[in-house]
Amino acid sequence: MKTRNFLTAIAITGLLLVSGATFAQKEMTKKVGGAEMYPSKNIVENAVNSKDHTTLVAAVKAAGLVETLQSKGPFTVFAPTNAAFDKLPKGTVENLLLPENLKTLQTVLTYHVLAGKFSAADIVKAIAGGKGKATFKTVSGGTLTASLKGKDVILTDENGNSSKVTIADVNQSNGVIHVVDTVVLPKS
């Protein structure tokens, strides 16, 4: 009887260990643009699967920034959706994608990137510490100002235009993505 109980205990322990290992392997993902975003993948590996970010992905490729956004980072990316790009004046995206506008395209895209990983909680904490506003230096060298409108994080660019974070804390292996509803632009 003791042997059977002992073997049963070993079998149950084994099942728990296997179940625990399976659970540990399951990643906490977020769905963006109809696709799961995996924290074990980098920014580019995830972004290419979002149907809401095809314009951004095309722009990143045209700007030659794929390798950078696949590097170790960490980066915080405020990722405009296709609808955000559609808000720009007609012809703006097509114009930015022209080879002669490469530097401008790179500047616009890197204006959406911060060096370091800033979660939504980090941004909100900085806003609280800044008495309602927090200024962040972008990779392009410009600044973005973050504030709260209710519970929403709002980014204001150097031209006074604003963008709302619609999906926060999409964790990546090399940083974090916050989806935004409007393209922010550096001072021209």
Query: How far is the C-alpha of 49 from the C-alpha of 173, rounded, in Å?
Result: 16
| Three-point CA angle 30, 34, 38, nearest 5° | 35
Read off the pLDDT of each residue in 64-74 and give the average, rounded to a whole number. 88
| Three-point CA angle 78, 85, 52, nearest 5° | 70
Q: Is 121 exposed, middle or buried (0-12, 13-18, 19+ CB in 10 A)?
A: exposed
Greater pLDDT, 7 or 173? 173
What pLDDT score does 26 carry? 63
Considering the chain, what is the average pLDDT of its residues? 86
Domains and CATH numbers, the chain: 28-180 (2.30.180.10)
What pLDDT score does 106 carry? 94
What pLDDT score does 147 carry? 97
Task: Give 99's contacts (C-beta < 8 A, 6+ positions apart).
Answer: none
Q: Would the pLDDT of 123 be above 50? A: yes
Read off the pLDDT of each residue in 81-103 and give the average, rounded to a whole number. 93
Which residue type occupies 46?
N
pTM of the predicted protein model: 0.84
Read off the pLDDT of each residue in 39-63 and give the average, rounded to a whole number. 89
Read off the pLDDT of each residue in 81-91 and give the average, rounded to a whole number. 94
pLDDT tens digits, 154-180: 999 999 999 999 999 999 989 999 999
- Per DSSP, helices labelled H in the chain are 2-25, 43-47, 54-62, 66-70, 82-86, 92-96, 102-110, 120-129
Q: CB of 163 within 8 A of CB of 153?
A: no
What is each CA distance from 152 to 5, 121, 138, 149, in whole angstroms? 56, 12, 20, 5
Read off the pLDDT of each residue in 52-57 and give the average, rounded to a whole number. 90
Q: Is 98 exposed, middle or buried (0-12, 13-18, 19+ CB in 10 A)?
A: exposed
Q: Tell which residue, 96, 142, 149, has the closest CA to residue 127.
A: 149
